[in-house]
C-alpha cells in the first residue's frame, strides 16, 4: 500500500497527485505499477477482473521514468496504470469481447482512444472481463468466467464493464476504460462504489471498439474520483476522421459552470418526489434523498419534472439494440475471421460456428433482433421504437429548457447475488431502467458513489444536455467534496 522509499499511501492518490509525485521523482512509474500488480497477484484469484495481464507493462512504465529523469514534462496520464475493457482494440494484443467467437483474435490496430492514451503515456495493465459482446448487466455472461464484486464475493460487480469496475474498486488498476450501451459503465460503477461516466454520443470515437449497438455504444472512464474521470475524458474526447459519428468541431471546450446557479431536475417517473416509490430499494432511496439534500444545502435548486416517455425506455431499448446486434454480429460467420467450425456444408459451417462461438445471451439478442427486423414486423416493432426514441429525445430537450441537470438513482438496488437473476432475462433487463434513457437520447451521464446499503455501495446518476459534460464534472466534484 505504501511506497517504501517515501511512505506515500499509493492507494489514496488521484491522477493529478500521482503525476506530481512522479514528475518530482518522489514516486516512479515502476513503483506505481508494482503496487497495482501486487494487488492483482493478491486479489485476482478471487475477483477475476482480468482476462489477461500484459507482460510489457513494466517496459512501458520504465519508458516514462526515463523521460522524467531526462527532464521531460510529461502529460497527466503518463505512467498511470489502466485496465482496458476486452472490447477495445490494442494493436498486437488479444481482444475477445469475452467470447469464444473471438478467443484468439489479435487486434491489428489501435482503437482511437488507445492511440490517444498511448500518446499521453498511460500504461496498460491488461484487458478486463465483461459480459460477452457487452450484452449483460452482471458480467455473468462472459465466456471465461464470472467477475465478483470486491465488496461481497457472492455478488455481481454489474456489467457489462464489470471487470473494469471491479479492478478499480479492488485497487487492481488506477483507472479503467469501459463501454456503455445502456449503463455499462454507470451500473457497475454504482455496484462497486466508483465513478463511471458515459459521454455524449459522438464525444468519444468508437473506432476500434467492437460494436454491440452502433447508435448507442460509447467508451467512457471508470475511476476512483470525478476529477480522474474528467482527466481521462479530456484525453480521449474529440472528432475522429475514422468515426463519422463523432462531433464536428469542438463543442466540448469547457465553458464556465457556476454550480450554485444550476437547477437539478428529478423526474417523477424515475423516482419518488410525488410520494410514490418506483420500485427503488429503501437504502437506495434514502441515499438518493440525502444526495438531493446535500445539493439543496449547497444552494442548488431542486425541481420535480416529468418525462412521460421514460416509462417506455426499457421496451424501446430492447427492440432497437437487438436489431443493431443482429446486424453487427452477422459478420461472425466462421468464414472471414474468428472461430470457424466445419459442418456438412456452408450452412452447417455457419450453424456450428455460431453454436460454439456465441453464448446464450448473445444468441437470444440476435434472435430478438432478427425477429423485429423481419418482414411483417419491422414497422410494428423497430419502426415504432425509433419513433418513440425520437419522442424521448424531444422530451429531454423540453426538460433541459427548465433544468440544467437530471438526477436519479443509478440502479434500483445494490448489487444482487451471483446467479440470482441469470435465468430471468426480464429481471436482468430491468436493471437498465434508470440508465438506458441516456443512451437512447445520447446525453452524457455519470454515476457517483452515494453511500452504502449495509456493506454494498449505491450510486446516484446525473444527466446533462448534449456536450455539457462540464456540468457533470463540476457537480460531481462538489458532491464528492461534501459527502
Please identify which of the residues 85, 116, 224, 278 carries the catalytic annotation.
85
Is 393 noted as a catalytic residue in this protein? no
Size of the chain, expressed as the number of residues it contains: 483
Give the position of cell 468515426.
243
Please identify which of the residues 34, 161, 179, 184 carries the catalytic annotation.
184
Exposed, middle or buried: residue 295 (CB in 10 Å: 0-12, 13-18, 19+)? buried
Beta 81-85 vs 123-128: how paired, if at all?
parallel
Contacts of 71 by beta carbon, 8 Å cutoff, 6+ apart: none
Nearest to 221 by CA among 478, 479, 473: 473
DSSP-assigned states of every residue in 109-150: S--HHHHHHHHHT-EEEEEEP-SGGG--SSS---TT----BT
Q: Cβ distance 128 to 50 under 8 Å?
A: yes
445: left (phi over 0), alpha (psi -120 to 50) or beta: beta
Beta bridge partners of 451: 458
- Between CA 160 and CA 436 the distance in angstroms is 13
121: left (phi over 0), alpha (psi -120 to 50) or beta: left
Please identify which of the residues 34, 160, 247, 445 carries the catalytic annotation.
160
Under DSSP, the state recorded for 159 is S
Give the position of cell 429548457.
401
Cα of 385 vs its chain's centroid, Å: 24
- Between CA 145 and CA 129 the distance in angstroms is 8
Q: Cβ distance 72 to 66 under 8 Å?
A: no
Is 160 noted as a catalytic residue in this protein? yes
DSSP-assigned states of every residue in 2-27: B-TTT--BGGG--HHHHHHHHHTTSS
Is 85 noted as a catalytic residue in this protein? yes
Residue positions annotated with a catalytic role:
85, 160, 184
Amino acid at each position: 500500500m505504501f511506497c517504501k522509499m517515501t511512505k506515500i499511501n499509493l492507494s489514496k492518490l488521484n491522477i493529478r497527485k500521482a503525476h506530481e509525485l512522479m514528475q518530482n521523482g518522489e514516486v516512479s512509474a515502476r513503483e506505481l505499477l508494482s503496487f497495482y500488480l501486487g494487488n492483482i497477484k493478491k486479489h485476482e484469484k478471487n475477483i477475476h477482473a482480468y482476462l489477461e495481464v500484459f507482460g510489457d507493462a513494466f517496459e512501458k512504465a520504465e519508458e516514462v521514468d526515463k523521460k522524467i529523469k531526462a527532464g521531460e514534462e510529461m502529460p497527466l496520464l503518463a505512467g498511470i496504470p489502466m485496465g482496458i475493457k476486452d472490447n477495445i482494440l490494442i494493436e498486437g494484443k488479444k481482444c475477445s469481447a469475452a467470447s469464444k467467437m473471438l478467443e484468439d483474435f489479435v487486434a491489428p490496430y489501435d482503437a482511437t482512444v488507445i492511440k490517444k492514451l498511448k500518446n499521453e503515456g498511460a500504461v496498460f495493465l491488461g484487458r478486463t472481463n465483461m459480459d460477452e459482446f457487452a450484452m449483460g448487466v452482471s458480467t455473468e455472461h462472459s465466456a471465461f468466467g464470472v467477475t465478483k464484486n470486491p465488496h461481497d464475493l457472492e455478488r455481481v460487480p454489474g456489467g457489462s464493464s464489470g471487470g473494469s469496475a471491479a479492478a478499480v474498486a479492488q485497487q487492481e488498476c488506477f483507472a479503467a476504460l469501459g463501454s456503455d450501451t445502456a449503463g455499462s459503465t454507470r451500473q457497475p460503477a454504482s455496484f462497486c462504489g466508483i465513478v463511471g461516466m458515459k459521454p455524449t454520443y459522438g464525444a468519444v470515437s468508437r473506432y476500434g471498439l467492437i460494436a454491440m449497438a452502433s447508435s448507442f455504444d460509447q467508451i467512457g472512464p471508470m475511476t476512483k474520483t470525478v476529477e480522474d474521470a474528467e482527466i481521462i475524458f479530456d484525453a480521449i474526447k474529440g472528432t475522429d476522421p475514422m468515426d463519422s459519428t463523432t462531433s464536428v468541431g469542438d463543442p466540448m471546450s469547457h465553458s464556465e459552470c457556476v454550480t450554485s446557479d444550476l437547477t437539478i431536475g428529478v423526474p417523477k417517473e424515475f423516482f419518488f418526489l410525488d410520494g410514490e416509490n418506483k420500485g427503488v430499494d429503501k437504502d437506495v432511496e434514502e441515499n438518493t434523498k440525502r444526495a438531493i439534500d446535500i445539493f439543496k444545502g449547497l444552494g442548488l435548486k431542486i425541481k420535480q419534472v416529468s418525462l412521460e416517455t421514460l416509462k417506455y425506455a426499457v421496451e424501446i431499448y430492447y427492440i432497437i439494440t437487438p436489431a443493431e446486434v443482429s446486424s453487427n454480429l452477422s459478420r461472425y460467420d466462421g468464414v472471414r475471421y474468428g472461430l470457424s467450425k466445419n459442418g456438412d456444408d456452408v450452412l452447417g459451417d455457419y450453424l456450428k460456428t455460431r453454436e460454439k462461438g456465441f453464448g446464450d445471451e448473445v444468441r437470444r439478442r440476435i434472435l430478438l433482433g432478427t425477429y423485429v427486423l423481419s418482414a411483417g414486423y419491422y414497422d410494428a416493432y423497430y419502426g415504432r421504437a425509433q419513433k418513440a426514441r425520437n419522442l424521448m429525445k424531444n422530451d429531454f430537450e423540453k426538460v433541459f429548457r427548465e433544468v440544467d441537470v437530471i438526477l436519479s438513482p443509478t440502479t434500483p438496488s445494490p448489487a444482487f447475488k451471483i446467479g440470482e437473476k441469470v435465468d430471468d432475462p426480464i429481471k436482468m433487463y430491468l436493471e437498465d431502467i434508470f440508465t438506458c434513457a441516456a443512451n437512447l437520447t445520447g446525453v452524457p451521464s455519470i454515476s457517483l458513489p452515494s453511500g452504502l446499503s449495509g456493506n454494498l455501495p449505491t450510486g446516484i446518476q446525473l444527466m446533462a444536455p448534449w456536450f455539457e459534460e462540464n456540468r457533470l464534472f463540476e457537480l460531481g466534484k462538489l458532491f464528492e467534496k461534501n459527502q
